[in-house]
Amino acid sequence: MTLTDQMTALKTILIKEVLRFSRIWVQTILPPAITMALYFVIFGKLIGSAIDTSATDGYSYIDYIVPGLIMMSVITNSYSNVVSSFYSAKYQGHIQELLVSPTPNTIILIGFIGGGVIRGLMVGAIVTLVSLFFTDMDVQHPFLTVITLFLTSVLFATAGLINAVYAKSFDDISIVPVFVLTPLTYLGGVFYSIKLLSPFWQTMSLVNPVLYMVNGFRYGILGVSDISIYISLAIILIFIVILFSIAYFLLDKGVGIRS
């Protein structure tokens, strides 16, 4: 395929992915905004008002958790969009048609991952707008904020594709989000600083990759973080390279796709 043909193929996959979740926006876009609004009300206003600011680097509790909640919505939606879309394409036989076409595997991967990223960032933008009803957001480092959010979305969209490759039923696509993704997210510093933990649990928390993403994003918005921003970005990039390489290998070998 020529470069023009490849760009046309990529554009087609991206349009298909965007139309897929935008047509059912009541199920894909609206629920995360409502859920996060409840988080802001319950944790930010009701519970947060009773929390000492010394536990949140001098910020009010709602200001402190806003970056984590935005990141959580992006992670969840980037992942869920790709895992459901790719598995559906595999189940219905669409992905097999792509694999026998001249479309390079890299273009197929970028197309599906790109759809997840678009949905993740769209939901993140909506959640950010919702948060403005509860707090004033003064972004300290705009570039770091955007790049951290984008890279994290890419990472979890890629992870969702890997999950879809191995899934053998629709039930399988919910196992990782429920038993892996949700615990990692809630224990990733969304609602607290790891400085509140004992030394042992602080060390254990460093194994959680979500911690680096949440803190990198929090540093971009508030200028405070439990982790060095350089370490956070390095961890995210390393995971992207590893997961994309795995996804490419699986697609190239037809694992879970070719019978």
Give the whole-number percent of the chain exceeding pLDDT 70. 99
How far is it, in rounded angstroms, from Cα 126 to Cα 129? 5
| Least confident window among 102-111, 186-195, 210-219 | 186-195
Angle at 239 between CA 219 and CA 201, to 5 degrees: 60
- Give the tens place of pLDDT for each residue, 152-176: 999 999 999 999 999 888 888 888 8
Mean pLDDT of 118-141: 92
How far is it, in rounded angstroms, from Cα 218 to Cα 226? 9
- Quick check: 117 and 78 in contact, CB under 8 A? yes
**Residue bearing tokens 């350089």:** 230
| Least confident window among 141-150, 189-198, 218-227 | 189-198
- Quick check: 71 and 221 in contact, CB under 8 A? no
How far is it, in rounded angstroms, from Cα 129 to Cα 89? 33
User: For residues 259 and 120, which has the higher predicted lDDT (pLDDT)?
Assistant: 120
| Least confident window among 90-94, 162-166, 190-194, 211-215 | 90-94
213: confidence class by pLDDT, cuts 50, 70, 90: very high
- Quick check: 75 and 152 in contact, CB under 8 A? yes
**Residue bearing tokens 């508030």:** 222
Structure tokens at 125: 């933008």
For residue 249, the model assigns a pLDDT of 95
Is 95's pLDDT higher than 90?
Answer: no
| CA 218 vs CA 52, 185, 224: distances in Å | 19, 14, 7
pLDDT, averaged across the chain:
90
Q: Which run of H or E residues covers position 61?
A: helix 61-92
Mean pLDDT of 217-228: 94
DSSP tally for the chain: helices H, then strands E: 12, 0
How far is it, in rounded angstroms, from Cα 93 to Cα 257? 9
Structure tokens at 137: 């957001």
For residue 258, the model assigns a pLDDT of 64
Mean pLDDT of 6-11: 92
Selection from 118, 183, 125 nearest residue 157 by Cα? 118
Is 259's pLDDT higher than 70?
Answer: no
How far is it, in rounded angstroms, from Cα 84 to Cα 157? 11
Task: Enter the pTM of the model.
Answer: 0.92
Helices marked H in 101-208: 105-131, 142-166, 175-176, 182-186, 199-205
